Each structure stands twice: as C-alpha cells, then as structure tokens.
C-alpha cells in the first residue's frame, strides 16, 4: 500500500539505459517522469500471470491512476479496482473493461453512482450488505470482504489484519445465514509482499472460510502482491493460483495489485534551490509530492546518492520548499558537493504520489511527463495557480 524502497528497488530503466541527471537537463522541475517502456514491462508480467493461471488482474487505482497510460494498460490486464465513486468512474470511462469496487462506506447517495460503473461490488460488513442488497444484487455481482486475521505486514498502518483494522468480516462476526445473493469473497491482506505471504494467507483463508467456497463464483485475493519486483517468485504465484483453481474449478480468481503496476516505472525530479550548512533546499516537497516519506515513513532512494552514515562525504539534509519544519526528505551522501540548480532524481515515484499530492502551502503540483519508448520526453500535464485556487473558495 505504500513503499519502502531503500536498496531493494533499483530503477532498471535508468540503470540499463544509462540515464542520469544530464538526460533531464532541459526539463522543468518538479516533475514526475514515467517510463512507458518500463510500465509496459510490468504489464507484460501481469498479463503473463493471467495467461499462465487463468486469473484476472485488476489495476488498483489507489496507487496509480495515470489515465493517459490506460489505453496501453487495457491491452494487458482485465480492468480496474476502485474504492471511491471517482475512481470507479475513472476506471469505467478511461480504462473500460471490468470495474470492481470495494468500499467500507456505501451510502444511499453514492450507491446509485457505484451501480453505474461497477461489475463487482464488495461489502465490508454484513450491516452494509443488509442495507444495500436489495438494490444491488440483481445489478452487479456482490461479494463480502473477509478479514483473515493473519498478519503478514509489519507496519500496522498498512496491515488489514492488525487488531484494530476495520476491514473485512472476521470469522467470529461472519453471518453464515446471510449469504444469499453473495457471489464472492474478497480478502486483502498484503502490502509489498512476496508469493510466500499469499500462500500462508490463502491457507488461513481456506481454513476459515473454505466451507463456503462451493456456493461462491469468485474470490478476489486483493492487492499487496509485489509481482513485478525483481525477486518476486512468479513460479510460486502461478502454482498457488493453479492449485487453487484445480481445487475449486468453478471459481474465478482476481488479483488487484496497485504498486506492482507501476513499480519502478517513474521518478520524481527536483532541483536544488539553496544550500547552507549542509542543508539543501529543494523545489520538491516531502509533504506535497511524496507524502509517504513522512507518513510511512521511509527514506526514498536518490539516483547517485547514498544514505548518509557517520563519516560519509558531502552529506546534505534535503528539505522541501514548504514552511513545515518537518518537510524533510532525509540525509544523503553525494559523490560531489551539490550545486544550486542541480537536479535530484528520486526513484520509484510513480506509485502513491500523483494520487496523493496536495497543494499545501500553495506549493505547486509536480508536472507529469512521459518518457516515450523511443526515449523522447513528452510533457502531458503542467499545473499552476488555477489548480491551487480551484480546490479552495
């Protein structure tokens, strides 16, 4: 659900193609640059999972909603997963194919909107199901989210199985006699996990809820599968899904990764604006342009820099342009002293960034740029005063 990308993630497209700050010398900052060819590489892997297992892969829009890439993405995967009316509409209008929705907060007002766009609707509780089943069950395929209460994620902020999670119906709250009209189960229990974590989760899921599977039509294995990471065990994933399908041939299986869609497919480029006492002020902000740096928190990887340790050379504390004292990205060591105007490239910034950006303190949103397959840079969105003003009144 968020990213922890120190060291494990190297941006292969930058690596392999020898890109460095010089390639972006002309570009205005701050901007996100998303590599179309790297994104396509990820999508090919996900499409292969569909082919090898017969499952369906949905793009969770929460992590990556860059709709200019949807025409390419729709060639490879089955659809989108949304958790708000706006996401559902974006998936429906810009991606097409299947739209699956999970939300813990359906209301009399929004349910009709969801029904315009969704193929699957997943309920978070039996009270939500009771309230809306009559309106929904003839129009879409309805499912219930279950909480397997099996922990695979360390940070409770991203752990749906943590003891105070409000997601999904636990075994003890499960209403065996209230399943009429429910066609599927949804669990989402992972975050940046390998296939081994899915294997363990699935085992617990089957132990707790397996007896109801004969009466279901589908199971959604949620997101958090780090499928496109270099060391992900694709063979194990294929085996897990294939075995599951052998056991329950009547079930359709869905995966809805977010991070894995655009993992390592983009960078955020900023520039050094001022330098004093080993502090470098940048025009990119932790709190506005990469909020997970503060929320998670984590130290993002910078191309050509290292995490500062005792005795490191050219150590700088990188800070953002806002007036938040805590708008601090972190301490890094560079091979040479920084100079004003120099570009700083943050890796793995296509996910959970554009979707979370804000204009706090009037900080401008970061431009969005595509690095085309032929290496050309194309600016697709520039933001300005209007975007700041339009959110206020």
Ligand X SMILES: *Cc1c(COP(=O)(O)O)cnc(C)c1O
Rounded to 5°, the CA angle 246-250-252 comes to 90
State the number of CA atoms in the 13 A half-sphere of 264 facing the CB.
Answer: 24
Helix (H) or strand (E) holding 355: none
Distance from C-alpha of 147 to C-alpha of 167, rounded to nearest angstrom: 6
Give whichever of 57 and 305 is closer to ligand X, judged by the CB atom: 57
Identify whether the C-beta of residue 101 lies closer than 8 Å to the C-beta of residue 136.
Answer: no
Question: How many chain residues touch ligand X (CB under 6 A)?
Answer: 16
Helix (H) or strand (E) holding 186: strand 182-186
Mutual angle of helices 195-209 and 234-247, in 10-degree steps:
20
Distance from C-alpha of 329 to C-alpha of 334, rounded to nearest angstrom: 15
Q: Which residue has tokens 């949304």?
A: 82
Phi first, then psi, for residue 99 (nearest 5°) are: -120, 120
As measured in angstroms, the least distance from the Cβ of 229 to ligand X is: 11
How many H helices and E strands in the chain? 12, 17
Give whichever of 223 and 270 is closer to ligand X, judged by the CB atom: 223
Give whichever of 57 and 269 is closer to ligand X, judged by the CB atom: 57
As measured in angstroms, the least distance from the Cβ of 103 to ligand X is: 9
As measured in angstroms, the least distance from the Cβ of 246 to ligand X is: 25
As measured in angstroms, the least distance from the Cβ of 187 to ligand X is: 9
Distance from C-alpha of 312 to C-alpha of 262, rounded to nearest angstrom: 32
Phi first, then psi, for residue 20 (nearest 5°) are: -145, -175
Give whichever of 136 and 263 is closer to ligand X, judged by the CB atom: 263
Give whichever of 258 and 266 is closer to ligand X, judged by the CB atom: 258
Give whichever of 227 and 302 is closer to ligand X, judged by the CB atom: 227
As measured in angstroms, the least distance from the Cβ of 231 to ligand X is: 16
x/- track of binding to ligand X for residues 216-245 (CB under 6 A): ------xxx---------------------
Q: Where would I find the H helices in the chain?
A: 12-16, 36-53, 70-73, 85-90, 108-117, 126-136, 195-209, 234-247, 259-262, 286-289, 292-295, 385-389
Distance from C-alpha of 371 to C-alpha of 376, rounded to nearest angstrom: 6
Give whichever of 63 and 266 is closer to ligand X, judged by the CB atom: 63
Residues 333-372 interacting with ligand X (rule: CB under 6 A): none
Please state, in angstroms and as integers, the Cα–Cα distance from residue 146 to each residue in 63, 187, 261, following that order. 22, 5, 24
Exposed, middle or buried: residue 356 (CB in 10 Å: 0-12, 13-18, 19+)? middle
Give whichever of 230 and 378 is closer to ligand X, judged by the CB atom: 230
Of the candidates 102, 209, 218, 316, which one interacts with ligand X according to CB under 6 A? 102
Residues 38-97 interacting with ligand X (rule: CB under 6 A): 60, 62-63, 81
Phi first, then psi, for residue 172 (nearest 5°) are: -70, -20
188 binds ligand X (CB under 6 A): yes
Give whichever of 11 and 259 is closer to ligand X, judged by the CB atom: 259
Give whichever of 1 and 148 is closer to ligand X, judged by the CB atom: 1
3-state secondary structure of 276: strand
Chain residues binding ligand X by CB under 6 A are: 1, 60, 62-63, 81, 102, 188, 191, 222-224, 256-260
């Amino acid at each position: 659900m968020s990213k922890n990308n120190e060291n494990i993630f190297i941006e292969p497209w930058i690596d392999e193609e020898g890109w460095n700050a010089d390639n972006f010398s002309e570009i205005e900052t701050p901007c996100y640059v998303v590599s179309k060819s790297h994104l396509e590489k990820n999508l090919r892997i996900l499409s292969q999972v569909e082919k090898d297992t017969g499952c369906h892969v949905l793009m969770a829009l929460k992590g990556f909603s860059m709709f200019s890439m949807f025409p390419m993405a729709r060639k490879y995967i089955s659809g989108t997963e949304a958790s708000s009316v706006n996401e559902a509409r974006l998936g429906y209008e810009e991606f097409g194919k299947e739209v699956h929705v999970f939300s813990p907060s359906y209301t009399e007002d929004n349910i009709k909107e969801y029904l315009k766009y969704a193929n699957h609707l997943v309920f978070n509780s039996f009270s939500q199901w009771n309230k809306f089943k009559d309106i929904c069950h003839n129009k879409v395929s309805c499912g219930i989210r279950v909480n397997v209460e099996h922990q695979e994620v360390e940070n409770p902020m991203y752990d749906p199985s943590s003891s105070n999670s409000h997601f999904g119906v636990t075994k003890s709250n499960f209403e065996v006699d209230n399943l009429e009209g429910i066609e599927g189960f949804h669990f989402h229990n992972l975050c940046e996990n390998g296939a081994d974590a899915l294997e363990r989760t699935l085992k617990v899921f089957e132990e707790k809820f397996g007896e109801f599977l004969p009466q279901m039509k589908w199971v959604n294995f949620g997101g958090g599968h780090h499928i496109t990471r270099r060391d992900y065990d694709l063979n194990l994933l294929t085996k897990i899904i294939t075995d599951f399908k052998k056991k329950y041939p009547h079930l359709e299986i869905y995966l809805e990764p977010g991070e894995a869609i655009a993992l390592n497919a983009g960078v955020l480029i900023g520039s050094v604006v001022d330098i004093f006492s080993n502090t470098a002020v940048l025009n990119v902000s932790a709190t506005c342009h990469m909020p997970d740096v503060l929320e998670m928190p984590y130290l993002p990887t910078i191309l050509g820099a290292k995490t500062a340790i005792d005795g490191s050379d050219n150590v700088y504390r990188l800070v953002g342009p806002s007036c938040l004292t805590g708008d601090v990205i972190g301490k890094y060591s560079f091979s040479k002293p920084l100079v004003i105007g120099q570009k700083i490239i943050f890796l793995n910034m296509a996910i959970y960034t554009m979707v979370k950006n804000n204009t706090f303190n009037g900080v401008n949103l970061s431009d969005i740029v595509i690095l085309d397959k032929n290496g050309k840079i194309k600016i697709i969105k520039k933001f300005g005063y209007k975007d700041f003003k339009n959110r206020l009144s």
